Amino acid sequence: MENLLRKVPVQYCPRKRIRGDLVAEYIALKTRLGSRRIVSFDDWASSAKEGLDNSLLQWDRIETIVPVDCDDVRDLTINPAQTYIANGFLTHNCDYDVEGSLIGYTILRYARQGADSKAQRMKFSTMTEKELQSAYKTLSPYLDIPLVEAGRARHELDWLYGINLSRLLTESALKQNRGYSTLSTGRVQGPTLKFVVDREEEIQFFTPTPFWTIDATVTQNGQEYILEYEKEKISTLVEAERVVKDCKGTILEVESSESRNIQQSPPYPFDLSNLQSEAYRHFGYTPSRTLALAEKLYLEALISYPRTSSQKLPPDIGYSEILRGIANMAQYRSLASRLTLHTTPRPNQGPKEDSAHPAVYPTGESPKRPLIQPEANLLDLIIRRFMVAFGEASLRESSKLTFTKDPHRFFLRGSRLLKEGWIQFYRPYTSEESQKPPDLKVGDKIPFDKIQPIQKFTEPPPRYNPGSLLRKMEDENIGTKATRAEIIEILFRRGYIKNTRIEATSLALKIISLLNTYCPLIIDPAFTAKVEASMDNIQTLQTSRLRVLTETLDHLRPVMLDLISREDEIGSQLAEVATLQRIANLTFDYPCPQCGSKLKIIRSRTSGKRFIGCTGYDMGCRFTLPLPQFGNLSITQRHCKVCGFQLVQAGTRGRRPMISCARCYSSKIKAIASSTALPSTASQPATNRLLEATSLVKDQ
């Protein structure tokens, strides 16, 4: 704010009518005339250069551009903020969503002099020159106050819950004098962590149950086909063996043959959550990294605004123009040209809408600089998904042969692609698995090739990964499209969850247990979803920010008083678990290869660098291994396929984590160091040797 309000010297010419003066006078005239129509500025200015009334203008507050030939110039010191506010030169150009509206409003509000009531709102979804010019010509005369109020309420609610509860948890543990740990929770963090903890408990208490399946095959013209038994699971070995006994060495007869054509419509355009899920599935990018990459592409006018929940592409974005722009890019020319042949392209659209922005789409502009690989990957995914929306439905033939050997039935299913349709535009992001069934008719017979029972066990539910956890949050209406990825990152940073296949730590289990005991509502997804609905109701004027905050305070006050009265009890439990977790996070399961003691991560007191050292140091063991010196370091439960050593993961915010084996890396470095003394390798370029050394780092 200090920079905005600084005083600057301005040259002012009292005798010349110049463009800056005319703009100010034109705006004043529009304000005076109200809703009555007025000609465009260019038309008005052409006849307004002489003899106009200047009484409406505050000439000493207008920052103007002085003509070169003006010989009567005086220096004035003015306040730029006052200049623009006084004459209405204010537009709110932040992103058109809850956060953007609130940021711009806050700046205007603290600029004072009624700036928030005088500013006009500029709304746009891409940063292309054409759209920005169009948005500036069609400014909204008012700010989007309902969005602002919803944004304020969201921040204030997060502050009330997050600051109060997080501070209580952190200080209660700190008072036990067992070291500092940042502990946090909130109305979105709590339910999200509970999803992970509930899944962790399901997995821990899961008891595998045995069942059997029938593994049967037939061969036709040298091609082996796998059969499905009519029962997917057989509960006892006796029954499975009876099936095998009845069928082994016998002949199957084709009882029926069915086929049908299945038409598959193109997938919907990307909303943010779906974009994050697809980027994780195809590239392994975390939701936060995908959002960071998408924002870079947006700022360079390559894609539309990414923080959207819409699956719709309105006609006013200019389908044909974007497709022509894509066709100018060499790698998409042949594909996009097929779509530009259509006179009126119509996209396949999803049901989800966003009042502020359409679905994520490419602008059709080519990159003005070479993109790094992750940026290029994401842009390619978005461009292909956009083209897919205009593709025709694909057509697939699904077939099913039913074989009988009384009293048993077996099925053989096949599938083949008849018409590519939209699939041609979405390669390599879609699979095209197909298996043509054998050419058999009803009544044909074929012998079993093999048949045997296979024992299997029921499996626990799968662990969440960052993509599936984000989808769970969206399904339960927890958080917003803009905050969900950040919440997951916070849970990782707090040490509540770990690994790509997300596991809840002992600290997370304890925190959820305590919150479930003392304030269960804070981790109840239904309660958080209700609060999110209240935010939406503020936007639609069905409720007010003050009412939502009052209801929240009425609920939170007794909860906080109860927690404060139990602070020592809560703190002792948290401190004990936090201390044990800090030790566990630094200790390897893999023993020291020299003395058998435990290995742990140590930070040097002299250099500040971290490394793996042996806890048997006092007994004379000097075993050490190097570690990455960047990012947050964690020990995984995975082991190196080469040497069996426990892998470590180095993660930097917004980037894919690097997983590596410290022992293999150390061995490789030593081998390279010793090879430099050999004549055969002494002349090898240092860059090549470096590449060999770093190739052991696994980026998974």
Q: In terms of domains, do 403 and 255 share one?
A: yes
- Give the per-residue pLDDT at 71: 41
Catalytic residue among 105, 161, 268, 305: 305
Decide which of 38 and 535 is more confident. Answer: 535
- Give the per-residue pLDDT at 692: 31
For residue 349, give its domain range.
272-388
| Average pLDDT for 480-509 | 89
Helices first, then strands: H and E counts in the chain: 25, 20
Q: What is the sign of the dihedral through the CA atoms of 695, 277, 459 and 589?
A: positive
C-alpha count within 13 angstroms, C-beta hemisphere, residue 526: 2
Checking if the pLDDT of 652 tops 60, the result is yes
Residue 459, number of CB atoms within 10 A of its CB? 10
- Encode 572-630 in three state secondary structure: HHHHHHHHHHHHHHCEEEEECCCCCCEEEEEECCCCCCEEEEECCHHHCCCCEEECCCC
- Give the per-residue pLDDT at 207: 93
Q: In terms of domains, do 472 and 416 share one?
A: no
Is 122 inside any structural domain? yes
**pLDDT per residue as tens digits for the range 309-332:** 999 999 889 898 999 999 999 999
**pLDDT per residue as tens digits for the range 266-298:** 999 999 999 999 999 999 898 989 999 999 999
Look at 56-60, 225-229, 596-600 and tell me which has the smallest mean pLDDT.
56-60
Look at 112-116, 293-297, 422-426, 677-681 and tell me which has the smallest mean pLDDT.
677-681
Checking if the pLDDT of 102 tops 60, the result is yes
Element (H, E) at 278: helix 272-283
- Give the per-residue pLDDT at 359: 94
Q: What is the CATH number of the domain that holds 435?
A: 2.70.20.10
- Give the per-residue pLDDT at 32: 65
| 4 band by pLDDT with thresholds 50, 70 and 90 | very low
Is 144 inside any structural domain? no
- Give the per-residue pLDDT at 214: 93
Give the bridge partners for 211, in sequence order. Answer: 456
- Give the per-residue pLDDT at 434: 78
- Encode 514-553 in three state secondary structure: HHHHHCHHHHCHHHHHHHHHHHHHHHCCCCCHHHHHHHHH
- Percent of the chain clearing pLDDT 90 (strictly above): 36
Residue 152: name the closest of 448, 534, 525, 417 by CA. Answer: 534
Interatomic CA distance for residues 552 and 549, integer angstroms: 5
| 51 band by pLDDT with thresholds 50, 70 and 90 | very low
β-pairing, 632-639 vs 450-457, is unpaired
Q: Average pLDDT, whole number, for the chain? A: 81
Q: What is the sign of the dihedral through the CA atoms of 584, 589, 593 and 597?
A: positive
| 12 band by pLDDT with thresholds 50, 70 and 90 | very low
Checking if the pLDDT of 73 tops 80, the result is no
Task: Please say whether the beta carbons of 584 and 576 come within 8 A.
Answer: no
496 in active site: no
Task: Please say whether the beta carbons of 312 and 350 come within 8 A.
Answer: yes
Is 154 inside any structural domain? yes
β-pairing, 91-92 vs 120-121, is parallel
Checking if the pLDDT of 700 tops 50, the result is no
Interatomic CA distance for residues 21 and 57, integer angstroms: 9
| Average pLDDT for 56-82 | 39
Count structural domains, the chain: 5
Q: In terms of domains, do 75 and 19 share one?
A: yes
Task: Please say whether the beta carbons of 122 and 93 come within 8 A.
Answer: yes
Is 653 inside any structural domain? yes
Checking if the pLDDT of 437 tops 50, the result is yes
Give the list of residues 6+ apart from residue 245 with CB closer than 8 angstroms, or none. none
Q: In terms of domains, do 552 and 622 share one?
A: no
Task: Please say whether the beta carbons of 197 and 512 come within 8 A.
Answer: yes
Decide which of 556 and 191 is more confident. Answer: 191
Residue 23: name the closest of 51, 49, 60 by CA. Answer: 49
Q: In terms of domains, do 19 and 72 share one?
A: yes
| 342 band by pLDDT with thresholds 50, 70 and 90 | low
Q: What is the CATH number of the domain that holds 318?
A: 1.10.290.10
Q: In terms of domains, do 639 and 594 share one?
A: yes
First to last CA, the chain: 44
Is 524 inside any structural domain? yes
Q: In terms of domains, do 682 and 600 share one?
A: yes
Give the three-class secondary structure for 218. strand
Interatomic CA distance for residues 317 and 359, integer angstroms: 11
| 165 band by pLDDT with thresholds 50, 70 and 90 | confident
Q: In terms of domains, do 244 and 348 share one?
A: no
Q: Where are the alpha helices (DSSP H) in 367-505?
A: 373-388, 423-426, 466-475, 484-493
- Give the per-residue pLDDT at 46: 56
Q: In terms of domains, do 124 and 13 share one?
A: yes
Q: What is the CATH number of the domain that holds 564?
A: 1.10.460.10
One-letter identity of residue 203: I
**pLDDT per residue as tens digits for the range 566-621:** 888 888 888 888 877 777 778 888 888 888 888 988 888 888 888 999 988 888 89
CA angle 300, 305, 307 (to 5 degrees): 130
- Give the per-residue pLDDT at 554: 86
In this structure, what DSSP letter does residue 330 have?
G
Is 627 inside any structural domain? yes
Q: In terms of domains, do 619 and 664 share one?
A: yes
Q: Which of 117-121, 324-328, 492-496, 595-599 has the highest mean pLDDT?
A: 324-328
Question: b vs e for 182-217, b when ≥16 Cβ sit within 10 Å of the residue's Cβ?
Answer: ebbbbbbbbbbbbbbbebbeeeeeeeeeebbbbebe
Q: Read out DSSP for 388-413?
A: HTTSPPEEEEEEEEEEEETTEEEEEE
Is 140 inside any structural domain? no
Checking if the pLDDT of 191 tops 50, the result is yes
Domain boundary among the residues 578, 596, 627 is at: 578
Domain boundary among the residues 332, 366, 388 is at: 388
Domain boundary among the residues 439, 457, 475 is at: 457
| 82 band by pLDDT with thresholds 50, 70 and 90 | low
Q: In terms of domains, do 435 and 488 share one?
A: no
Is 1 inside any structural domain? no
Give the list of residues 6+ apart from residue 96 with CB closer than 8 angstroms, or none. 121, 123, 124, 125, 144, 305, 356, 357
The tokens for 166 are: 């997080």
Q: In terms of domains, do 539 and 599 share one?
A: no
